[in-house]
Structure 1
Amino acid sequence: MKLSLLAATALAYSTASAYTITGDSVNCRSGPGTSYAVKKTYAKGHDVSISCQAPGTSVDGDSLWDKTSDNCFVADYYVKTGTSGYVAAHCSSGSGGSSSCAAPASNTATVNLIAEFEGFVDHVYTDATGHPTIGYGHLCSNSACSGIGYPIPLSQANGKKLLAKDMGVAEKCITAMTNDKVTLNLNQYGALVSWAFNEGCGAAKSSTLIKRLNNGESPKTVLPQELPKWVYGNGEVLPGLVRRRKAEVALSEEATTAKALPVKC
C-alpha cells in the first residue's frame, strides 16, 4: 500500500540523503500544491535532497510534498524515498508549508487497530509493488531495510513504532482536510486516521464523510453512517474491509475526554 503514512512526535531525520525523481518532467513549485507556480522542472532520474516536507495537493492518493535544496516543492509521489511517510522534518509556515501546527498523534488504540489489520512480518520481504517491506507494511529505503533503526528480525513492539511514524501522513491529511467546525476526540480522530491510512488521502478528501463533517454534522452521526460504506474492492464487498470498518466505528464510539481536533496553534 502506498499510503502506509508518523505519529506527531518529534522528528530528527537527516536531510543529507539524495532521492531520485521517478516521473518524467516533474514540476517543482513555489508551494506544496499544484496551484503554486512552477519554479523549475526535474528530469527522470535526477537526484534531489529534501530539507523539509509538508501536506498539500493529493497526487494519486499521496498528499505529501517535499521541499528540495532548490527551495521549491515537488510532489512526494514522484520522489523515490522508499516510504510514503516523512523522511525529513515538517516544514514550518515560514518555509512554505501550509501550517506550523502539528497534527495530533494517534493514541495507542488507533495504532493497535491498524496493526491488527495490516498484519506483521518480522523480516524483509518484497511487497506486491516490488518494494522492500518489513513490519506492519513499512516501505524501506533499501533492499536490506538497514535504515529502520531497529534490529532484524523486527519485534512487534518496534514494528508498531515504525507504524506510528508511517501513520503521520494520514494524521496530517485528516487534520488538513477538516475545518474548524469539526470537533473530534482522539478515538473519533483515530477511526478516521485508520480509514485514511487504508483508503488513501485523496479518496478521503473527496468523500461525503469529510464533506458532512465540514458542514457541521456530528461525528457521532456521520462516522457510523459513512465508514461502513467503504467496504468494496473491485466492485465486491471484502470481508476484511467490513471487519475493519466495524472496528473503526467501534473505536469512534468509545468514550474519551482526550481532544484531537480542531488543532489550536
Structure 2
Amino acid sequence: MKFTTLAALVSSLAPASAYLVTGDPLNCRSGPGTGYAIKKTYPKDTDISITCQTAGPSINGNAIWDKTSDGCYVSDYYVKTGVSGYVMDKCGSGTTCDAPSANQATVNLIAEFEGFVDHVYIDDVGNPTVGYGHLCNDAKCSGVKYSIPLSEADGKKLLADDMKIFEDCITTVLTPSKVTLNANQYGALVSWAFNMGCPAVETSTLVARLKAGTDPVNTVLAEELPRWVHAGGVVFPGLVRRRKAEVALAKEATKVGALPVDC
C-alpha cells in the first residue's frame, strides 16, 4: 500500500506518543496478522506507543496494523488513534517490498485442503468460522465483507484476503536472498505457510536452504516439504497429501515470476 500526500502529511504532524488500547485484552504479535505468534498482551485502556504502521489482514474492515515500541504488532482496529487511516509512516517505508499475490492455482490448492462451509460455524477450539477456514472476530462474522451464506466464489475471494499475511511472510523471510521463485514455487510456499504458520516458516531448514542458494529450488522443496506432515508427533495422511500437492505445484512449469520483487 502506498502513501498518499495527505497520509504522509498526517503522519508528519502526528505525535509519536501513546494511543489508547480499546481491545480487552489486545494481543501483540511478531508480525502483522493473527497467524503470527503472540509476544505480549496489553490490557484494555493501556497507552501504547506506535513506531510505524503497515497493511495486513483486515479486522472488522480495518487492514492497518500498528508496530509498537515493544517491537510487536497490534490490529489498528483496537487502538484509538482518532482517524481511520494511517497516523504514522509505513514500516520500512522505502525499503520494504510488497508481497506478490499468489496465483489462482495456489488459491485452489489451499481451498481444496481447507474445505468450504457457506455459513458461520464454531470450529474445534471455539472460534466462529466461515468459508475456507476464515476466523471471525464475532459470532455473526460481521467483519466479513461478503454476503453470508457465502458463495464458493466469494469464499475464495475471502480466502485470497486471508492469504496476504502468508504471502507477506514468504516474501519477508526470503528478501533479500539469492533465491528466485516462479509463481508456482512461490504458491507452494504460501500454501505451506498458510498451513503451518509463519513462526515455523521463519525458523525452518527449508527457508535456510533457499536463502543459501546452493541447491535448486525444486530440489529443496521436494526434500523439505514432505517433512512437514506431523501433528502431535503423528503423521497425518491429509498433510502427506497436501505436501505432495504443493511439491507438484512447484514443479509445474511457468514463465511467471514471483520473487525477488522490485522494492
Do the aligned partners of 1:20 and 1:48 also contact (CA within 8 Å) in 2? no
Match of 1:105, SS?
A: coil
* Pair 90,195 (structure 1): closer, same or farther in 2 beyond 3 Å: farther
Residue of structure 1 equivalent to 2:16:
none
| Cα displacement (A) at 1:262 | 0.7
The answer to whether the aligner puts 1:213 opposite 2:210 as a matched pair is yes
State which of 167, 172, 194 in structure 1 corresponds to 2:168.
172
Do the aligned partners of 2:64 and 2:75 also contact (CA within 8 Å) in 1? no
Distance 1:139 1:52 in 2: 23
Match of 2:107, SS?
A: helix
Bigger RCO of structures 1 and 2 (CA < 8 A, at least 6 apart): 1
| Cα displacement (A) at 1:146 | 2.0
* Pair 153,174 (structure 1): closer, same or farther in 2 beyond 3 Å: same
Do the aligned partners of 2:54 and 2:91 also contact (CA within 8 Å) in 1? no
State which of 117, 127, 133 in structure 1 corresponds to 2:129.
133
Residue of structure 1 equivalent to 2:239:
241
- 1:245 maps to a residue whose letter is R
Distance 1:143 1:80 in 2: 21
Output one character per residue of 1:96-139: Cα deviation in whole Å (capped at 9) or x when no partner: 34744210100000000000000111000112232211000111
Unpaired runs of 5+ residues, structure 2, are: 2-20, 33-39, 57-62, 79-83
* Pair 45,105 (structure 1): closer, same or farther in 2 beyond 3 Å: same
Residue of structure 1 equivalent to 2:4:
none
Output one character per residue of 1:135-164: Cα deviation in whole Å (capped at 9) or x when no partner: 001111221112211111111100000100
| Cα displacement (A) at 1:54 | 5.7
| Cα displacement (A) at 1:172 | 0.5
Do the aligned partners of 1:20 and 1:80 also contact (CA within 8 Å) in 2? no
| Root mean square deviation of aligned Cα | 3.6
State which of 136, 155, 159 in structure 1 corresponds to 2:155.
159
Distance 1:133 1:254 in 2: 32
Do the aligned partners of 1:53 and 1:89 also contact (CA within 8 Å) in 2? no
| Cα displacement (A) at 1:200 | 0.7
Unpaired runs of 5+ residues, structure 1, are: 1-7, 9-17, 33-40, 56-63, 83-87
Q: Percent same amino acid among aligned pairs?
A: 52
State which of 90, 97, 107 in structure 2 corresponds to 1:95.
90
Distance 1:108 1:259 in 2: 14
Do the aligned partners of 2:54 and 2:90 also contact (CA within 8 Å) in 1? no
Match of 1:157, SS?
A: helix
Do the aligned partners of 2:228 and 2:243 also contact (CA within 8 Å) in 1? yes
TM-score (norm 2): 0.72
**Greater CA radius of gyration, 1 or 2?**
2
Output one character per residue of 1:5-31: Cα deviation in whole Å (capped at 9) or x when no partner: xxx9xxxxxxxxx7515369x69x9x9
* Pair 154,54 (structure 1): closer, same or farther in 2 beyond 3 Å: closer
| Cα displacement (A) at 1:220 | 1.7
* Pair 91,227 (structure 1): closer, same or farther in 2 beyond 3 Å: farther
Do the aligned partners of 1:65 and 1:73 also contact (CA within 8 Å) in 2? no
- 2:158 maps to a residue whose letter is L
- 2:211 maps to a residue whose letter is N
Residue of structure 1 equivalent to 2:262:
264
